[in-house]
Amino acid sequence: MYVWARMARMMATARSRGPYLVGGESRLAFRCLPTDIDFNLHLNNARYMMLADLGRIDIFLRAGLIALARKNGWAPMIGGLQVAYVREIRLWRRFEVISSIETWEGTSVIGRHRFVLDSGDTAALIMTTGGVYDRRNRRFLDIAEVVAALGRSAQPRPPTEAEQAFMASHRNLRELAKKA
């Protein structure tokens, strides 16, 4: 199944996974298909990002953010990511993408996507940063405002040292990109 079929499957089965609560996980199962591989016969680097997108969309859908965003003219957006590949996902291998919202600060939310082989070993880890853009008011929303609009009362935990380093690296690269 290519991306659209995988997205349709994820959306059709979202209700069976129940509502997403902060601190929870999205767990999506896949198999590495011939349309996913590169010349090394393993999952290509771009496909990791696409599958992480599905994990994020699953969270947004199950948390009610997609419906709320459509109603209010908001747009959830990714700001950047960092990937560490530690094991390959070979053709036909089964794996899961385990996605979560780790914490937030101001207008930025930190997400995590772990690619887990059927053996239980981690194949890759993706850290993401993103936010929710209010198109009408042309600004990024404070994540606490989004959480409240979703009817939740969750509080973020302090970012870990690794998350702080990731965010600092992201800010530096963003500044470099603006100057290029």
- Average pLDDT value for residue range 72-79: 96
CB 159 within 8 A of CB 152: no
Confidence of residue 3 (pLDDT cuts 50, 70, 90): confident
Q: How far apart are CA 119 and CA 75, in angstroms?
A: 37
Say if residue 124's pLDDT is above 60: yes
Query: Whole-structure pTM over 0.75, yes or no?
Result: yes
- The per-residue pLDDT for 2 is 61
By the 8 A CB rule, do 118 and 94 touch? yes
With a cut of 90, say whether residue 71 has pLDDT above it.
yes
pLDDT tens track for 21-35: 888 999 999 999 999
Q: What percent of the chain has pLDDT over 70?
A: 99
Give the mean pLDDT of 88-109: 97
153 — pLDDT class (breaks 50, 70, 90): confident
Answer yes or no: are the C-beta atoms of 54 and 7 closer than 8 Å. Answer: yes
pLDDT at 23: 85
Mean pLDDT, rounded, of the chain = 95
Instruction: Give CA–CA dist 33/31, Å, rounded.
Output: 6
